[in-house]
Chain A
Amino acid sequence: MRPAPYTFEEPTNLTQAFANLKDGMPIAGGQNLMPALRMRQIDTPCLVSLEKIDAFSNDILVTVDAIQIGALTTIGELLNCAVIEKEVPWLHTAASKLGDTQVKNLATVVGNVCWSDPRANMSIALLASRAEIKVVNEKRLERSVPIRDFFTGFQENCLNDELVGSILIPRNSGDAGVYDEFSRQPNDLALVNVCVVSNQEGVAAAIGGTCATPIVVTLEYTDNVRNNDSILNRIISLLENYADQFTTDQFGSSGYKLELARVLLKRALAIVGEQL
């Protein structure tokens, strides 16, 4: 199958871009968008390429406080970044498990988040890393959205005539962390994925694939919450609050997905415990 007609714009600055986007849709790497266009699941009069916008780059900038991932940074580029591998290894793992080589070469980190699929590897790893999304609008006003407030529904997010300019990961996002996913085959769509990150204050766990949006649960460390079993139990009980929103499909029932989440979290926490 092939896409329905659209025009193609390649704006070089944000003003043009937002003008084009009035009745268009942005395309970065296009690795989620192109299949949807080809299968005619979505239709747009205009594709607006973000590739040539002067304000957007594929750089990964490291400052004292944060690692900033550019709007156009690809998964492949993220994988080649030594700082990411050293300081946010769970994000590196999530990137290595995303798609295949060809997809990694084009797909962008920001695109993976913006597509807002509840199983997106980048979203899950960034949620547990407490990342901030830098959003820009037509007037070039920037706002910062904590990633846990970003997702509003299945393939829906809080962007309102806005574009994501970059994603910031705090330098001290975690002392230890693990990303893991359950898929039928590696490089396949994850059925359920989790990321667990621990820092001085506590532990953050993100769970994807169970509901229309990813779930994040955080626990502050207290004297009562120090061993893995109690952390796991607390996280699972928090997760169970969402049980009525769990989805069933041909790959598994809602109960099965909860069970997968439990198994993945247990395994991840065991490794995080060792890393600390």
Chain B
Amino acid sequence: MSSHSISFQLNGESQTVNVSPRELLTDVLRDKVSIKSVRFGCEEGACGSCTIEMDGQTVKSCMIPAVRANGKSISTIEGSDLSEITRKVQAAFASCHALQCGYCTSGMIMSAANLLKKNSGKTLTDDEIKNGIAGNICRCTGYNNIIHAVKVANGQAEPLAESETTINKSDSWIGRPLQRREDKRLVAGKGRFADNYGEYGDLHAAVARSTKAHAKIIKIDTRTAEKMSGVRRVITGEEAKKYWQPLAPTMELLDLKLPKRYALAVDKVVFYGEPVVLVVADDPYIAEDAAESIKVQYEDLPVNTDPTATISAIDEPERLLYPEWETNTQVEVRFEHGEVNSLFASADLVIEEKIGSHRYSAMPMETRVARADYDKDEDHLIIRASTQIAHQMRMAIGQVFGIPESRIEVLAGDVGGGFGAKLSVDSEYFAVLGTMLCHKPVRWNETRTGWMHAGPGARDYHTTSRAAFDRNGTVIAMETDIVADMGCDGAERGCGIGMPLNGGNYAPGPYTIENYRTNIRCVVTNKGPYNAYRGYGKDLANMLIERLLDQAADKLEIDPIEIRKRNLLTKYPFQLVTGPIIENGTLRECLEKLAKNMKLPELRKEQANALREGRHLGLALVPYIEPAGATFPGSTSQNYESITLRIAADGSVHVITGIQSLGQGIETVYAQVCADQLGCAIEDVTVSWGDTKASPFGSGTFSSRGAMFAVGAIINATEKLLPRIKIGASVILECDPSEVVIKNGTISCPKSEPALSFKDLAFAAYVQPGAEIILADADGPLLEALGVYRHPQVNWKPDDLGRMQFYPAHANGAAGALVEVDIETGKVDVKKIWMVADHGVILNPLILQGQIKGSIVQQLGGTIYENLEYDDEGKPLANTLKEYGMPTVWAAPEIEIDHLVSKSPSTSVGAKGAGEDGSIATSTVLMAAVEDALRVHNVKVMSCPLSPFKVKEMIEKAME
């Protein structure tokens, strides 16, 4: 193919490069001139992560053949010649917590800055700002803070964060809305994302994917691919069996069945998009050409797309995904306690509904990415990956390839969003197999279409749920029958299988329901894999009980808040009938505060007035609990986290953790905790993560556990080091260790002057005069400690009823919503979401609120817009972000958050887990609010999505 020499101005400097006609400008910028701030998030020009300025106009560089950049002037965020406006926008993004993972941030800032440049000095409305940034998708923030940041940059609003340098240092760092440390690099486009470590000359992996949802593989023809110039290796599933073992499961608990599939299909395919042949080539274009040329002959098998029907496949062997199971049910769990049948028979009121949710996905802006580099001589493997679980990934790769873990390094820098979807190892194996076969570094970048077809799906719950009430509205018994669609699997390629189990386990909610039965069936169908997603079934639990309570309130003519108060737990700790123990909280108080914050009487009046004009407003309130810190026997989710705390000879303090940064602000929050607990200066603390060689073994990031587990481990380590510091200081200061005071980086004794700095003390311990003098009486000579935290409220020993405590902490709150439904089109407009949340002691309110806002808009997206739908042949209907329905800035409603605080009894700081509020309560409260809006037409809203088409169907059905 001919090559073109092109010249362009890049950030004020001339560049000349050779490009082939089909090369995308994004690729050329990233790989040929090292501009890593432009990133791929999709194939269709929807996400805007690749936004640059070309001749003064913002454009998506992935939608431009690089050859067209010839003669153009290009600006990216790396430019040293950035305009003052761009610098202001960067600063405002940091001071408003307008970014989390940072993957979309460069593009978002380019768009925001361009908007301000074109409207210099003009005050902008929210709609004008939204219009300016609608071409940039952010999955983390929920957009509210981004809009605020644009206003701050434009001089229309005040920043939300405090900076380390302006806070009075005699105060505690914990509880301050400190600006994030992560943001300095992320707003400059310098995020350390996995693919940024790719080098020119790396090989690239691509896969040929199944075009059938369920079929036998008859024949694979790879001849054309093998002959292509630049192709290094083509390998089928059958051939690859020589080099690897089946996928390493994330969960192997209860009596769940595992498919024991390989990363490349062998003999048959079980979902559309399943990888069939791996290609390794000199560049990603050739790799795709080769993958596309591979011809696979299939013999069709019957396709299962209906999760209920798949259960009966037991009599039809051809419909079984894994015939050796002799069923399509991956696991079935039952629990029963109390007099369920008789109470239903004698109840004043029984409500029974089919409640459920469709399938959607975590959809982080960065897909799954891995770069693997195997050194054959050293027998050493280094993998850069986008993962939530570096240590578990190492374990999985070790198992699958038979390499000792001590010879594997997993490195994860910044991760462009995870939300549970990066808790398993699946396609990352391709980079490893590639490098082991080709002896060169191999990069694997999952395409967005690849994620749509073969990436992790979630939710997809189908239930029949019942509750029995007395005439006062008290729930006397409850029953849930849950069928969850695992797609091809929920425990190997993903670990979503726990979601419906949580749904059944927590469905009685924070209510005094003593008689309960649940039957949960996790079934496989010919759809893509099923993985964890923020909320992890606690969303389902909330939906089941709260929707039933609303129906009962309606029937019994009891106020919806009142019926909840009549059933809410009355004292803490409270044990659910299924076993979990809610340690403390403010469920009742949050609900009351929410009602007050929403100004309910005024809203009801507004609603009545609107209805007279033919407008349908709806409002709803629901309480929620947020079980946090999951631990499961037989899984990689263990009940501990660890950190290394190291004070170097210069007094600098290093916290190294196995918790992974995904944008949740750990680099900042752990520094706040460490500075407070150790008494060092916050600027002396460095927090690092994502390095299996450097950090002690940890469980990684999931289930909102960092604020308890990592914080607990930091405290544990400081408790080990503080006595040593005090002994060392007492020798130098000639006082008693008990007299030593450590605060803000100063180690002092009231009786003797001058005080010591951490540097003075550390140098004294390491060198002069040395540990044998100043630490002779201490329990050790090192200023380094391993901190470990085990949550005391976990209990894996079953009681007489087989009940355990997997979730040690329960944050709680209440969510409210105001919506307007256009009954002619079925469109739902979410006008406002309120939340009152109690997460115990707040470590950093700015970051906590950022997590809550982000989770609200994510779940709102899933509830209304997003959909991973399949046709009857098991072919996915969504191929792109637009078809999928990814929420843009227009989807973000106004959000108001308030807090109550009930200190956690289990860590000395008193924080509980946080970050899933919106994921748990938003679907429920939106369903209830839409139902409220349509009450005049007797519409019941029992399932998602609340897409215009489906809502219109609900309205028409009710009006028939």
Interface presence of B551 (CB below 8 A): no
Q: Which of B43, B67, B447 has the most CB of A within 10 A?
A: B43
B135 interface neighbour in A47, A100, A189, Cβ under 8 Å: A100
A38 interface neighbour in B44, B59, B130, Cβ under 8 Å: B44
How many residue pairs at the A-B interface have CB separations less than 8 Å? 145
Q: Smallest Cβ distance from A266 to chain B, in angstroms?
A: 8
User: Residue of A at shortest CB range from B127?
Assistant: A186
B48 interface neighbour in A5, A38, A100, Cβ under 8 Å: A100
Residues of A within 8 A of B115 (CB): 101
For window 923-960 of chain B, which residues contact chain A by CB distance below 8 Å? 947-949, 952-953
Residues of B within 8 A of A86 (CB): none
Interface presence of B825 (CB below 8 A): yes
For window 42-69 of chain B, which residues contact chain A by CB distance below 8 Å? 43-45, 48, 51, 57-60, 62-65, 67-68
Please, what's the 1-or-0 string for B20-31, where 1 marks a CB less than 8 Å from any CB in chain A?
Answer: 111010010000
Interface size, A (range):
35 or more
Residues of B within 8 A of A37 (CB): 22
Task: Assess A99 versus B449: contact at CB under 8 Å? Given A5-B289, A6-B22, A184-B885.
Answer: no
A35 interface neighbour in B4, B63, B877, Cβ under 8 Å: B63
Q: Are B888 and A185 in contact (CB under 8 A)?
A: yes
B891 interface neighbour in A7, A40, A185, Cβ under 8 Å: A185
Interface presence of B254 (CB below 8 A): no
Q: Are B63 and A30 in contact (CB under 8 A)?
A: yes
A105–B48 Cα distance when bound, in Å, is: 13
A1–B40 Cα distance when bound, in Å, is: 10
Q: Are A101 and B2 in contact (CB under 8 A)?
A: no
Q: Are A186 and B22 in contact (CB under 8 A)?
A: no
A259–B115 Cα distance when bound, in Å, is: 37
Q: Which of A40, A99, A256 has the most CB of B within 10 A?
A: A256
Interface presence of A245 (CB below 8 A): no
A68–B284 Cα distance when bound, in Å, is: 43
Q: Are A31 and B890 in contact (CB under 8 A)?
A: no
A112–B62 Cα distance when bound, in Å, is: 19
For window 19-61 of chain A, which residues contact chain B by CB distance below 8 Å? 27, 30-31, 34-35, 37-40, 47, 49, 51
Interface presence of B285 (CB below 8 A): yes
B877 interface neighbour in A31, A184, A250, Cβ under 8 Å: A250
Q: Smallest Cβ distance from A237 to chain B, in angstroms?
A: 19
The main secondary structure of chain B at its interface with chain A is mixed
Residues of B within 8 Å of A, CB-based: how many? 62
Q: Are B285 and A185 in contact (CB under 8 A)?
A: no
Residues of B within 8 A of A81 (CB): none
Task: Assess A250 versus B284: contact at CB under 8 Å? Given A101-B134, A184-B885.
Answer: no
A187–B136 Cα distance when bound, in Å, is: 11
Q: Are B449 and A39 in contact (CB under 8 A)?
A: yes
Q: Are B887 and A185 in contact (CB under 8 A)?
A: yes
Q: Are B288 and A2 in contact (CB under 8 A)?
A: yes
Q: Are A31 and B45 in contact (CB under 8 A)?
A: yes
Q: Are B869 and A102 in contact (CB under 8 A)?
A: no
Q: Smallest Cβ distance from B851 to chain A, in angstroms?
A: 23
Q: Are B890 and A187 in contact (CB under 8 A)?
A: yes
Q: Smallest Cβ distance from A226 to chain B, in angstroms?
A: 24
Task: Assess A184 versus B865: contact at CB under 8 Å? Given A35-B45, A40-B292, A106-B59.
Answer: yes
A156–B160 Cα distance when bound, in Å, is: 52
Task: Assess A5 versus B134: contact at CB under 8 Å? Given A100-B48, A102-B59.
Answer: no
Interface presence of A221 (CB below 8 A): no
Residues of B within 8 A of A256 (CB): 949, 952-953
A191–B1 Cα distance when bound, in Å, is: 40
Q: Are B1 and A105 in contact (CB under 8 A)?
A: no
Q: Are B947 and A34 in contact (CB under 8 A)?
A: no
Q: Smallest Cβ distance from B782 to chain A, in angstroms?
A: 52
Please, what's the 1-or-0 string for A96-131, where 1 marks a CB less than 8 Å from any CB in chain B?
Answer: 000111110110000000000000000000000000
Q: Smallest Cβ distance from B482 to chain A, in angstroms?
A: 25
Q: Are B948 and A100 in contact (CB under 8 A)?
A: no
For window 157-204 of chain A, which residues contact chain B by CB distance below 8 Å? 182, 184-189, 191
Q: Are A1 and B449 in contact (CB under 8 A)?
A: yes
Interface presence of B315 (CB below 8 A): no
Residues of A within 8 A of B2 (CB): 7
B44 interface neighbour in A35, A76, A101, A184, Cβ under 8 Å: A35
User: Residue of A at shortest CB range from B826?
Assistant: A256
Residues of A within 8 A of B832 (CB): none
Q: Which of B65, B131, B880, B888 has the most CB of A within 10 A?
A: B65
Residues of B within 8 A of A100 (CB): 48, 134-136
Interface presence of A231 (CB below 8 A): no
Q: Are A187 and B285 in contact (CB under 8 A)?
A: no
Known: A34-B64, A185-B865. 8 other contacts (CB 8 A): A5-B21, A7-B1, A27-B65, A39-B449, A100-B48, A103-B45, A105-B57, A185-B887
